[in-house]
Amino acid sequence: MKDENLLFRPAVRVDLEGIVGMLADDNLGRTRENPELPLERSYEEAFQAIHEDPNNELIVAEADGQLAGVLQLTFLPSITYRGSWRAMIEGVRTASSMRGRGIGRELILHSIRLAEEKGCRLIQLTTDKSRPDAIRFYESLGFSPTHEGMKMRLDKGDGKE
């Protein structure tokens, strides 16, 4: 179901506190993010790096004038697939107060359209194995678990992922 009052746009600096708040507002996010104000400088630095990189987009969804969702879309050139581009989706969240309205679905579909416009051959994402609802959601959009994702933590500090 498409929300008629839904708008997608690049994130701007004033969105950052709300974005971090959405990222922290779930079981895994609570262990990884710190939404306390003032925000840690690392959030500001990451926002600036994304903003300045032409192959990265931090996209927000607004519904009824409120921040409703976020994701990061990264475009990656690749030698594989005959030198084609691919897109990677990260950090997908819908504001908890706005879940169930189809906002996340529309945000992902918007990202797929952007990847197609860029000429990407494929779009990929990862989701934590402990999120069965998210896995079902992505599968309902046409994503399939064709690969086994692997990660390695480089900062062994706090044990948070």
pLDDT of residue 115: 98
Residue 60: closest CA among 114, 122, 18, 2: 18
Domains of the chain: 6-140 (3.40.630.30)
Instruction: Specify whether the CB–CB gap between 72 and 58 falls below 8 A.
Output: yes
Question: What does the pLDDT average to over 33-55?
Answer: 97
Encoded amino acid at 29, one letter: G
85-134 residue pLDDT tens: 999 999 999 999 999 999 999 999 999 999 999 999 999 999 999 999 99
Higher pLDDT pick, 62 / 3: 62
Question: 18: pLDDT confidence band, cut at 50, 70 and 90?
Answer: very high
| Residue percentage of the chain with pLDDT more than 70 | 94
Question: 1: pLDDT confidence band, cut at 50, 70 and 90?
Answer: very low
**34-41, Cβ contacts within 8 angstroms, sequence gap of 24 or more:** none
Instruction: Name the pTM for this structure.
Output: 0.90
145-157 residue pLDDT tens: 999 888 898 987 6
> What does the mean pLDDT of the chain come to?
93
Residue 159 has pLDDT above 60, yes or no: no
pLDDT of residue 4: 65
Return d(Cα 22, Cα 116) in angstroms, integer.
Answer: 27
